């Protein structure tokens, strides 16, 4: 039987386990949603133990699918990788392995006051640690969430002060649990999102830890994105090695094979994330982007860097239409509704449920639908919801081009929203660029599978030699070309910027 590579894809609202062959054809897959807790405005919590339980369930079901299909057995899965929602913060008891509190998810904005307090400590304000980390002080990143836990949850502070606490992002938490609590590691891509790591040295920085007031001993050891970290301790895949760790958006960059400087991808998931490969150079953004590690393809490899623009609300806006407003019954309906009208009728929906990230950086911005008249119906609202993600992608891409000095010819896309042809056509129209969509769009999971397979020398995969991946996910790519005039595009973008300006600072304290 052939060899397979497995991938745990632990996203913001769901987890899945996928099994790939050497051409990235999916042999089996199973996914499950897990609970989101919204107990106060701006808060988003998760049960860290539920995430582990759902991952194990997905593994069991996917392996059973594989065996029932006759394509192979669990013995054919030679190695697995992990890719994860980034910045989401987990803290747990070192002795018992139990989470000390719920995980704080990456879109959570409860730390707005914490951001202001820390910004006041430096004459650089929110750029206090940007030179070292590539990141501005923001509610987005793990350091702020951990600081809030220490300031507001006595059990967390006590465990920290008693040196009985471990910290991690979701990759670390899953690796710790899957290896029977033996391994406390993270990879360079996830570490670069904590604000505790020096971007150029790929090491935890004592000065950064002091700035945020945390004990460096709670942090996981930083590893590369492609090496053996340990083996699965129990369950269906007991004894299988775990050899790939990567933040989900960096995983998608790899899965899209955007391995050459100047190539870019956008993933439309709960949020949307555009990454632009800058090679071995850290590009310090002057246009509101993040500088980050894309991946480190082995213990002795040099890191590959990227510019990133993050959009907090993308697919989650469609979920909001479905679950909170009841405008649609199924997510797929949003595209069908949007296709029923030629435009939004002048409606703009700024989906700033968690403030605005790149390139606006306003955590006091509020969600807003503007431009409605008696003519407006649910089709216009549906289309405006889609367009919000497309406009924000355009703003991020424009910032990438300014920082890099290199205009893109096309954009590689993946994620749930890309299943809709109308959404991709709208994106091409708003960008004025070709949008390219692969047939197999689970590129986040594929990225961690490629890293894990390369670590074990499977299939000849080598991320430093893109030609070794030429047969991976190569079939069935579709292209969407712009279909509106440059003048019309300019009018639409002007309207979007007007709407954004109106929603800024809405939550500003008097």
Q: Are strands 368-370 and 203-204 parallel, antiparallel or unpaired?
A: unpaired
Residue range 78-95, pLDDT digits in tens: 999 999 999 999 999 999
Residue 190 · residue 251 · CB < 8 Å: no
Only one residue has tokens 């008097």, namely 510
Rounded Cα–Cα distance for residues 72 and 64 (Å): 10
Tens-place pLDDT, residues 230-255 = 999 999 999 999 999 999 999 999 99
Strand order in the sheet with 264-268: 290-295, 304-311, 272-279, 264-268, 410-414, 434-437, 478-480
Percent of the chain with pLDDT over 90: 73
Q: Which residue would you say has higher pLDDT here, 197 or 333?
A: 197
Question: What pLDDT, in 10s, does the model give residues 95-106?
Answer: 999 999 999 999
Secondary structure (3-state) at 244: strand
Query: CA dist 204 to 282, 335, 401, Å?
Result: 17, 44, 31
Q: Average pLDDT of 148-167?
A: 97
Helices 170-178 and 48-69, interaxial angle, to 10°?
Answer: 60
φ and ψ at 12, to 5 degrees?
-75, -35
Please tell me the pTM assigned to this model. 0.85
Q: How many CB atoms lie within 10 A of CB 342?
A: 7
Q: Average pLDDT, stretch 309-332? A: 89
Residue 149: other Cβ atoms inside 10 A: 23
pLDDT at 487: 96
Confidence at 510, pLDDT banded by 50, 70, 90: very low
pLDDT higher than threshold 90 for residue 301: yes
Rounded distance between C-alpha atoms, residue 458 and residue 5, angstroms: 9
> Which residue do the tokens 């507001």 mark?
152
Task: Tell me the C-alpha distance between 501 and 290, whole Å.
Answer: 22
Structure tokens at 432: 């004025």
132: how many CB neighbours lie within 10 A of its CB?
Answer: 18
Question: 66-75, 188-197, 263-272: which has the minimum mean pLDDT?
Answer: 263-272
Give the CA distances from residue 48 to residues 90, 96, 155, in Å, rounded to whole numbers and listed in that order: 7, 14, 16
- The pairing of strands 26-33 and 14-20 is antiparallel
- Nearest Cα to 432, choosing from 498, 349, 488, 500? 488
Q: Which domains does the chain have, with CATH numbers?
A: 4-256+440-469 (3.30.420.40), 311-406+487-503 (3.30.420.40)
* 198, pLDDT greater than 60: yes
**Local confidence band at 400 (pLDDT 50, 70, 90 cut-offs):** confident
Q: What percent of the chain has pLDDT over 70?
A: 99
Estimate the crossing angle of helix 486-503 against helix 421-431, to 10 degrees. Answer: 90
Q: Show contacts of 29-38: CB within 8 Å, 24+ apart.
A: 29/62, 29/65, 29/442, 30/57, 30/58, 30/61, 30/62, 30/65, 31/58, 32/57, 32/58, 36/105, 37/102
- Mean pLDDT score of the chain, rounded to an integer? 93
**462: CB partners within 8 A, 6+ apart:** 454, 468
Burial classification of residue 298, based on how many CB atoms lie within 10 Å of its CB (0-12 exposed, 13-18 middle, 19 or more buried): middle
- The dihedrals phi and psi of 192, each to the nearest 5 degrees, come to -70, -5
pLDDT at residue 272 in the model: 86
User: What's the CA angle centered on 111, arms 364 and 113, to 5 degrees?
Assistant: 70
Q: Binning pLDDT at 50, 70 and 90, where does residue 285 land? A: confident
State the pLDDT confidence band at 509, using cuts at 50, 70 and 90. low
Q: What is the DSSP letter of 195?
A: S
pLDDT of residue 314: 86
State the pLDDT at residue 269. Answer: 81
């Amino acid at each position: 039987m052939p060899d397979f590579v497995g991938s745990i894809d632990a996203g913001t609202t769901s987890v899945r386990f996928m099994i790939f062959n050497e051409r990235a054809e999916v042999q089996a897959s199973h996914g499950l949603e897990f609970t989101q807790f919204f107990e106060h405005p701006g808060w988003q919590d998760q049960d860290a133990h539920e995430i582990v339980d759902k991952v194990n369930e997905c593994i069991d079901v996917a392996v059973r699918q594989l065996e029932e299909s006759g394509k192979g057995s669990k013995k054919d899965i030679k190695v697995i990788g992990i890719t994860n929602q980034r910045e989401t913060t987990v803290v747990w008891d070192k002795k018992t392995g139990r989470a000390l509190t719920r995980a704080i998810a990456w879109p959570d904005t409860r730390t707005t006051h914490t951001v202001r307090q820390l910004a006041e400590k430096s004459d650089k304000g929110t750029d206090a640690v940007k030179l070292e980390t590539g990141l501005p002080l923001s509610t987005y990143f793990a350091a702020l969430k951990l600081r809030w836990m220490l300031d507001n949850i006595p059990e967390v502070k006590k465990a920290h002060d008693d040196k009985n606490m471990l910290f991690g992002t979701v990759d670390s938490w899953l690796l710790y649990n899957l290896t029977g609590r033996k391994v406390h590691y993270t990879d360079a891509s996830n570490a670069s999102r904590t604000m505790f790591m020096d971007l150029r040295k790929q090491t935890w920085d004592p000065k950064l830890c002091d700035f945020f007031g945390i004990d460096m001993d709670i942090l996981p050891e930083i590893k590369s994105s492609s090496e053996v970290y340990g083996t699965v301790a129990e369950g269906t895949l007991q004894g299988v090695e775990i050899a790939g760790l990567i933040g989900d958006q960096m995983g998608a960059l790899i899965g899209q094979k955007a391995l050459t400087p100047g190539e870019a991808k956008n993933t439309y998931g709960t949020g949307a994330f555009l990454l632009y490969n800058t090679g071995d150079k850290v590009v310090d953004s002057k246009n509101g982007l993040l500088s980050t590690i894309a991946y480190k393809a082995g213990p002795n490899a040099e890191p590959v860097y990227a510019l990133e623009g993050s959009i907090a609300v993308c697919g989650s806006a469609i979920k909001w239409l479905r679950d909170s407003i009841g405008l649609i019954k199924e997510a797929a309906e949003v595209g069908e509704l949007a296709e029923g009208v030629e435009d939004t009728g002048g409606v703009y929906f700024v989906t700033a449920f968690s403030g605005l990230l790149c390139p606006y950086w306003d955590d006091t911005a509020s969600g807003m639908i503007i431009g409605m008249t008696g003519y407006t119906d649910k089709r216009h609202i549906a289309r405006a919801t889609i367009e919000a993600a497309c406009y924000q992608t355009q703003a991020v891409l424009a910032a990438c081009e300014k920082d890099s000095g290199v205009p893109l010819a096309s954009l590689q896309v993946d994620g749930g929203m890309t299943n809709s042809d109308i959404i991709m056509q709208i994106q091409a129209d708003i960008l004025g660029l070709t949008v390219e969509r692969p047939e197999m769009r689970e590129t986040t999971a594929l990225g961690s599978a490629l890293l894990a397979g390369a670590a074990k020398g499977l299939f000849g995969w080598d991320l430093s030699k893109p030609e070794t991946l030429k047969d991976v996910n190569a079939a069935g790519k579709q292209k969407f070309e712009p279909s509106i005039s440059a003048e019309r595009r300019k009018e639409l973008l002007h309207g979007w910027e007007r709407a954004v300006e109106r929603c800024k600072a809405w939550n500003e304290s008097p």
